[in-house]
Amino acid sequence: MKLIVGLGNPDKEYLNTFHNLGFMAVDKALDSLGLECNKSKCRALICETKIGREKVIFAKPQTYMNLSGESVRELINFYKIPLEDLIVVYDDYDMPKGTLRLRENGSAGTHNGMKNIVKELGSENFARIRVGFRPQQENKIPLLNLVLSGIKAEDKPVFEKALTCASEAIVEFAKGQPFQRIMQKYNGNAN
């Protein structure tokens, strides 16, 4: 069984913000499969499906970003999913906009949602897909405000490419492809 978690904030006002890139990537993967998160469980919107012979749960925690770990822990415990079958998709300011970085484990960095997940799970040993959004020019906006700001129209094509690559990587993970192979294929620039 696989658990695919996209991070974001639930309210409509956050729909098109950088902090919702995880939600957007999961939604894009679900769209490609003709599915949607329309059930509520463990404080998340979820979609339970089968891909091949594997049961797959897609989840978008509704706890707001900084408490994402509470929902993820509840999902892990409810479905009894080992950490090697978990992947978390989220935004990352520490990477240039439009780039992807896939890792099998590692620290949460500066991301509060990931910090909470690591704390709640008591481990950093789970896969993640990070979608970079750092602007090319130095930014004067405080990070807290930037992550909640809207994606500009001129940047949409860059993020569309990145989200398409992220969604393809998600689907490959859901289909049971080895994560090492997925990393080799999608790490780096999403061009």
159 phi/psi in degrees, rounded to 5: -75, -30
Residue 19 annotated among the catalytic residues of the structure: yes
Place of tokens 């439009």: 98
CA dihedral for 64, 133, 126, 84, sign (positive or negative): positive
| Catalytic residue (one of 7, 10, 14, 19) | 19
In this structure, the dihedral spanned by the alpha carbons of residues 92, 96, 97 and 102, taken in order and rounded to 10 degrees, is -50
In this structure, the dihedral spanned by the alpha carbons of residues 94, 97, 103 and 109, taken in order and rounded to 10 degrees, is 20
The residues annotated as belonging to the active site are: 19
